[in-house]
Amino acid sequence: MTYWSELFQRYTSLLYGVCLKYLKDRDDAKDAVMQLFEKLATTLHKHEVDNFKSWLYVTARNHCLMQLRAGKEKKIEGISADIMESNPLLHLEDEPEMEQNLSKLENCIAQLVADQQKCVRLFFLAEKCYKEVADETGFDMNQVKSYIQNGKRNLKICMERNA
């Protein structure tokens, strides 16, 4: 393991420079350097290397050229209108309706059985996992899953009824 860290320290800047020269993008160059070091573990066992620095340079250059060649074959997709601003929070005209739905949801949560309500609040609103909900409530894992599943179903029914 110490050999790999030594190789990494010595040759990272060389590899980064070579990759940046060919790829012309800093992030792509950083990714290529990491890919090269991952590849080194297997390729060094297959090749007999006399001059490591030269071999590494050629390997990096070939890797970058392969990436450039593969990049030419990729189709570039334009950005469509339905991808842009898809976050509901960006559409302020929907805010009153969203506010109504949130208050309906809060009313429906309040109508749940106490155990379902507790589990649903912890799981969905506090974003806790099943185990954390079980630890916090004292219910076993199966009870937590059941309360959440039934609570979710009851919330859906309540929301549809109040729509």
pLDDT in tens, 12-38: 888 889 898 989 889 999 999 888 888
Q: How far is Cα 132 from Cα 41, in angstroms, rounded to an integer?
A: 40
Of 136, 85, 101, nearest to 115 by C-alpha is 136
Report the pLDDT value the prediction gives residue 137, as an integer from 0 to 100.
93
- 34 within domain boundaries: yes
CA 5 to chain centre: 27
On whether both 60 and 11 belong to a single domain, the answer is yes
pLDDT in tens, 50-78: 887 888 888 889 989 988 888 765 545 55
Quick one: DSSP state of residue 92? G
Residue 46 has pLDDT above 90, yes or no: no
Tokens encoding 48: 């007999």
**Whole-structure pTM value:** 0.43
- 85 within domain boundaries: no
Number of domains, the chain? 2
pLDDT in tens, 111-136: 999 999 999 888 888 888 899 999 99
89: confidence class by pLDDT, cuts 50, 70, 90: low
On whether both 53 and 114 belong to a single domain, the answer is no
Report the pLDDT value the prediction gives residue 6, as an integer from 0 to 100.
78
Please state at what angle helix 2-23 crosses helix 52-73, rounded to 10 degrees. 50
Domain extent at residue 12: 2-73
On whether both 60 and 99 belong to a single domain, the answer is no
10: confidence class by pLDDT, cuts 50, 70, 90: confident
> Can you give the CATH number for the domain in which 132 is found?
1.10.10.10
> Can you give the CATH number for the domain in which 10 is found?
1.10.1740.10
